[in-house]
């Protein structure tokens, strides 16, 4: 495989130089090339699609990853009739019903949080968009992605590498991975990144069963505020204490979580900076309560349930991450003014009152250490 990495926050984008009329998106070890003609094309009206889906007006529709996300969501909503609307791309009916594809990660944040858009301090670059779909519809969703360019233009190209084919086969319908275009360089060359597709469950440091598929319109085609908060706050790791100096040098020491019971030769580290910014956007834009556009503690508790009741391990990780934002909120000055810090802190405090207190005292990882991060 021959790739040229582009620098950027959490960025694994790549491009391979091509000619003026064609470029190589990806080259396999055996020399097989995934090519595309230039310039990229688009034959859709993103604004009309977003309006038809009922998405907020504040979303930055000039941003290519969000354009791709909106076209994907629209196509899933039209799944029963795609073969009639775009017979050159879809020979057969994809699905008898709309596919409830849900965004999580940075794409979902931009849909649900006005402060995550534009040029404000909480607005950040996202490298790609992550989706979760019902497992029984995973292969149908993949069929839509792999034919998007034929229906909507080459800007919306998705493809599988040989490595992706092997990755998908090994996971037997539980998770998929494909590649897509996520930007264009100043030279006019497309950049490429991975897209992760989870099925039924977000299984990372902790396992979160998504129960929001029947409310995909209500949640604006995302996993919802509560599940999104959990997915952000489930991040945790335990590097050696020797790594503390590196965190301090990078001005990331705020990520160290106070947990006195853990192994003395290690530190417990929580959310990355980008996730902290996303969580701040959630709480800045949404009060605690029941009803539309509110963070509902009862919904969050439902998503924290395991077979035997509340998932105490997930609960502890989420609580530690949220409490850290309140108890050490001085570092939030990087992105929020005093009024914003007060709003975020008070809303997190209110939510924490509803979350269970975990009495167990673990000295070793209580989370999944063999994790495949998107």
81-118 per-position pLDDT tens digit: 999 999 999 999 999 999 999 999 999 999 999 999 99
Is a pLDDT exceeding 70 seen at residue 17? no
What pLDDT, on the 0 to 100 scale, is given for residue 294?
A: 97
Q: Is residue 217 part of a domain?
A: no
What pLDDT, on the 0 to 100 scale, is given for residue 284?
A: 98
Question: Do residues 12 and 160 share a domain?
Answer: yes
Question: Do residues 135 and 277 share a domain?
Answer: no
What pLDDT, on the 0 to 100 scale, is given for residue 127?
A: 83
* Domain housing 9: 4-199
CA atoms of 118 and 114, how far apart (whole Å): 8
Q: Is residue 209 part of a domain?
A: no
Is a pLDDT exceeding 90 seen at residue 147? yes
Q: Give percent of the chain with pLDDT exceeding 90.
A: 87
Average pLDDT score over residue span 255-260: 96
Domain endpoint, select from 166, 199, 232: 199
Is a pLDDT exceeding 80 seen at residue 19? no
Q: Is residue 213 part of a domain?
A: no
What pLDDT, on the 0 to 100 scale, is given for residue 308?
A: 63
Question: Do residues 60 and 103 share a domain?
Answer: yes
Domain endpoint, select from 199, 215, 247: 199
What pLDDT, on the 0 to 100 scale, is given for residue 307?
A: 58
Q: Is residue 258 part of a domain?
A: yes
Who has greater pLDDT, 21 or 214? Answer: 214
Question: Do residues 191 and 232 share a domain?
Answer: no
Question: Do residues 232 and 336 share a domain?
Answer: yes
Report how many domains make up the chain. Answer: 2
Question: Do residues 241 and 346 share a domain?
Answer: yes
Question: Do residues 16 and 81 share a domain?
Answer: yes
51-86 per-position pLDDT tens digit: 999 999 999 998 999 999 999 999 999 999 999 999
Question: Do residues 194 and 243 share a domain?
Answer: no
Question: Do residues 279 and 231 share a domain?
Answer: yes
Question: Do residues 184 and 322 share a domain?
Answer: no
Question: Do residues 232 and 303 share a domain?
Answer: yes
Q: Is residue 124 part of a domain?
A: yes
What pLDDT, on the 0 to 100 scale, is given for residue 305?
A: 80
Question: Do residues 232 and 339 share a domain?
Answer: yes
Q: Is residue 357 part of a domain?
A: no
What pLDDT, on the 0 to 100 scale, is given for residue 95?
A: 97
Q: Is residue 204 part of a domain?
A: no
Q: Is residue 335 part of a domain?
A: yes
CA atoms of 319 and 329, how far apart (whole Å): 15
| Residue 292: pLDDT band with limits 50, 70, 90 | confident
């Amino acid at each position: 495989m021959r790739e040229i990495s582009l620098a950027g926050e959490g960025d694994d984008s790549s491009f391979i130089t091509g000619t003026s009329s064609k470029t190589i998106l990806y080259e396999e070890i055996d020399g097989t090339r995934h090519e595309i003609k230039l310039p990229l094309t688009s034959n859709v009206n993103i604004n009309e699609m977003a309006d038809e889906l009922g998405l907020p007006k504040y979303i930055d529709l000039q941003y290519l990853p969000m354009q791709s996300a909106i076209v994907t969501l629209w196509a899933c909503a039209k799944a029963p009739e795609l073969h009639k609307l775009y017979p050159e791309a879809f020979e057969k009916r994809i699905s008898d019903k709309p596919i409830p594809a849900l965004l999580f990660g940075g794409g979902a944040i931009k849909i649900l949080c006005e402060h995550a858009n534009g040029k404000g301090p909480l607005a950040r670059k996202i490298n790609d968009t992550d989706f979760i779909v019902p497992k029984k519809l995973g292969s149908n969703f993949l069929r839509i992605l792999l034919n998007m360019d034929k229906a909507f233009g080459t800007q919306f190209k998705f493809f599988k590498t040989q490595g992706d084919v092997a990755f998908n086969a090994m996971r037997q319908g539980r998770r998929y991975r494909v590649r897509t275009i996520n930007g264009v360089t100043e030279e006019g060359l497309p950049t490429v990144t991975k897209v992760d597709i989870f099925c039924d469950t977000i299984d990372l440091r902790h396992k979160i069963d998504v129960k929001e598929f029947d409310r995909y319109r209500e949640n604006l085609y995302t996993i919802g505020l509560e599940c999104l908060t959990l997915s952000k706050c489930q991040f945790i790791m335990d590097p050696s204490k020797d790594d503390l100096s590196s965190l301090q040098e990078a001005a990331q020491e705020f990520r160290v979580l106070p947990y006195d019971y853990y192994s003395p030769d290690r530190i417990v580290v929580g959310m990355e900076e980008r996730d902290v910014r996303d969580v701040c956007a959630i709480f800045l834009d949404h009060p605690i309560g029941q009803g539309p556009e509110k963070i509902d503690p009862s919904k969050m508790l439902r998503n924290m349930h395991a077979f035997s009741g509340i998932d105490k391990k997930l609960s502890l990780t989420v609580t530690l991450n949220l409490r850290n934002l309140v108890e050490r909120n001085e570092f939030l000055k990087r992105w929020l003014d005093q009024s914003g810090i007060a709003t975020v802190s008070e809303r997190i405090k209110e939510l924490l009152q509803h979350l269970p207190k975990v009495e167990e005292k673990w000295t070793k990882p209580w989370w999944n250490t063999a994790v495949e991060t998107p």
